[in-house]
Structure 1
Amino acid sequence: MKTFTLVKVLISTLFLLVVPISCEKGKQVIEKKTDNTAEVRRLTIIGDAYFDKSEFSNALQVYEKVITISDSVKDRVDYVDALISIALIKEFEGNYLESEATATKVLPHLKYLKKPRFAWETYKIFVENYLAANDYDNALIYAKKAYNLKTSARRKTNALANIALVYMRQKHYKKAIKVYKKLTTYGYYGNKKKTNTFKDFELQDYAIMKNNIGICYADLGDSRALLYYQEALKIRLKLNDLSNLSHSYSGLSQFYLKSNLSLAKKYAKIAYKYSCKINAYSQKKNALKILIKSSRGNELKKYSEIYIQFTDSVNKSQLTQKEQSANIKYNFKKDREENLELKAQKAEDELEMQRQKNRSIVSYIIITVSALSLLFVVFYITKKGKRDRANEIFKNEMRISEKLQFELEKDIDKILLFTEKSDLEKEENKEQFLSHLNNIYSKTRNISRENSEILTDENFEKVLKEMISGYATPNLNILINGLNAFSWSKIDRVKKITVFRVVQEIFNQVKNHKNSSLASITFKMDQEEIIITYADNSSVTHDQNNLNERFANIENRLKLIKGTFNVFLNQNQGFKVSIKFPI
């Protein structure tokens, strides 16, 4: 009697576990999604109207609403259009990391869209983000990709103008001028017709290229720059082109900086006013730099403090957003994996129950107990994993936050002290002050990059090479050998992440000690092992125990992939690192 009662309880328990899941599944099948297509279309029109008037804050709110309520397949055109617009707004605000991340979400949709304008806009965003990061090679790649699209004459010309822009940023001014003059004289914009026959969007692009010719001539020390600046400004004032007027006034201010300081200051103030209207990060930053150079006394101190607060707040905001974005991606992936595990376990239990249908009561008891035990184990392991991951995320966030706070507070205190004790009217002090500000920006960017997400797809080799090259300085040359001697696509994802972090840790140690002029790193595959060897010519005498302590973190990382680590002194100078791990 007791045995039969126990059986009834266990079967009832299993039934209660399975039935709600089945019911929920049934609900999901019959549930219909709300059709928001009409609302998505209405909001897109409103967002585009705000965007065209350069009211980017309002436009951003509307586009984010479109992303929230739209179906990425059914409303694909409006969905992609909203993503591109958000990426452009983030770029205007100077949030290049989030702009690039948003534009990346467009890439999977491009093959489903017939109109090439979406690909063209996306590639253009990548060009401008890479230019902001001084990555001219990648900027040129995407500029050429945009040019090679089968698209309108206007977009072809604009893409060619972006190629000229990369030349300009690379300081190949004569090459850039040649392309721009060809476009403004014989290209789509010229066609031997007068500018008064152009449409507004043609005039807007025409003015951009004329202004860029002025920048090129100015950097070459050619007085013809002024004519091009004035021509571009005249067009932009006529169009009330808010998004570009700041560029014109900044160019004029820079031109008069050495010959007429009061006029330079006047134009810089106008440039700053227009950049604040549209909240354009790069334009605002450039205008403030010129205001600092053209100001004296209390005004110099005022604009210096504004510059410090502005760059500091933007940098902290970018790092916070990147950490939050990485955390969201991490949790989404974790939840999806846990759901797949539970679904797989449920399917296995149901199949087992079907096979055991005609067996004895004892068999049902064994299966039920096993299923409950297994569910308990899965639940326990999942909960423990969540707790461990949450602790790790918290520790990582605290480490980044403490590092950022320590590094920035120290540098900001230093620059404020320099401002109080130095005469900033002297050119050398002013240049040193701007150099300190740029160092703060670079340091924040480096901290952000050190904690960024690592790509482990087909681009891993390129990402690893870029990370290593980033440690090269005028005083340190780095030789990279054998990186492409074998296929990284065959290497496990976890091992690639470990390799990336281990190599990063090595070069962080080199960067901190700053006493090497030459370093080399070699990658080699030997049968079923990958061997990484690092060596440098450090002039400082190292102690073996000290080296072991410095690289203890690397040894712990390698244990996770069954790798070995050895560090030892060179016979002459410097030290060597040898890393091995199985494929």
Structure 2
Amino acid sequence: MKTSFLFFYLCITTFSCIEDVPAQQSIDSSYYYYSLIFNPKKNTDLTSAFVFYNNQKNQSLIEKDTLKAINDLRLIAIIQNKIGFLNESENSSVEALKLLDQVKASDSIIVEAKVGLFNHLGKIYRNLELYDKAIEFYNNVLDIAQTQSQITTILNNRAFAYYEQKKYDLAIIEFNKIYKQSLLNNNKKSIARALDNLGLVQSKLNYPVALSNIKEGLKIREDLGYVTGVFTSYLHLTEYYKDRNQKNNALFYAKKALDIANTSKSLTKKESALSFLMDLNDNPEIIEFKRITDSISKVRLTQKNGYASIIYDLGNETKRANENKLKEEKEKRLKLWYQAIGIFIFLGAIFLYFILRSKYKKNKIEQIYKTETRISKKVHDEVANEIYHAMIKLQDDSNTKEEILDDLEDIYSKTREISKENSTIDFTENFESLLNDLLLSYEDTKVNVITRNMNKINWGSVSDLKKTAIYRVLQELMTNMKKHSKASNAVLHFSKLRNRIIIEYKDDGVGCIVKKKGGLQNAENRIKQVNGTITFESQINNGFTAKIIV
């Protein structure tokens, strides 16, 4: 019968007064009492261990050895859980967690302690049949677990929480994970445990392979000489046959389990084996006694649970919320920085692309103009001059025919024209005057050239490349007019729309069918090179028009 913690503590004090001193004083006290917790032989073993670790915890706190106090509290919580004082066990675990929050130690030490404490709280809630709460703690442990051993232990406990909820399919998934990992690690003990547990759960769903898995796990444990594991396998076989009403087989394995408990002098093993034997007993009074004691124990356990872990969680909720908020703000700032850097790089790349493209185009145009200038100079220096000298010689020869002289003079005029059309433009002079001189040079007694609003253009703000393109294209149009159109009037109208210069050309010549080749094609290419447009319109006997936008 379980009593209040106050009565439990008074009993411990009494037992401690009559406790026998260990015969071998050389055995380390901590190791001795540690063994009492996990392998109690007498009724007073757990109480003796409690007194020792409780005194040690108090001394550790006085000496400010927080890590040692936390370890003492973990062992105290295990003792309290074994005896059935689940509320006190929970309180001890939470006290250890609070101390752990104050410790400055390596991550591995902190994680190991938290894994142990959270796992223990999960066990408490399983005992209280609060399975969802237990699974919540196991999930928390899996989030921080660092070693495969820790992960395997928690998966095993979570699987049993599903098993106790009768969620057998989920339990099988968990045990299969453990079995596969155990095979990878070639851990015989872990393989045996996974097979045994897997077979137990499969038996609840009547899987044919269930019995062979339990027996295979038992064989591995027997080969290893792992007595505690063999004991568990016997209990699972007892349960397997009990579920199938094979009482003789069930009793056989329950008695084998009791033999191990008696040999090892383990009270906990003996309690488990006897509990199964009582379940298999047909005596109505024993059956009723078992049912009543189980019910009373369950009610008391539920009433005694104080949910200290929930209080601990609430106490740390503000701290976690603040930490999460700071983390989110930091991540948000980093994200904004990354976005800003990304946008800057993107815009920079676009800007650089257009700069390089513009520079390339400018260089290309400049090279064209340099080539034109070189050709012009070469024609002037080499062709025109040679023809001029030939004409001088022919003039001195009285036998030369006049028509040959006329032909040579015509050639000379053409070479001068080529040179003039491709000569260097001096932008140091006033461009308006240069352009005006160019246009008026085509005026004679037969052709009247009219310009409008040329002086309203701010030519100082126009780049040299655009000036060159405008000059050459108008030169091309005027030459075309002079040679082919037979026009009497040519009108050029200048205007500006925002940052664009518009030049409209019109003459009253004979017109033509517009074909973009030769001079017109050259004119269009020049305007496109400075990102401008030029259009041509003409009809037979209805003049010629062109519109330039740069």
Q: State TM-score, norm by structure 2.
A: 0.44
Larger Rg: 2
Q: State TM-score, norm by structure 1.
A: 0.42
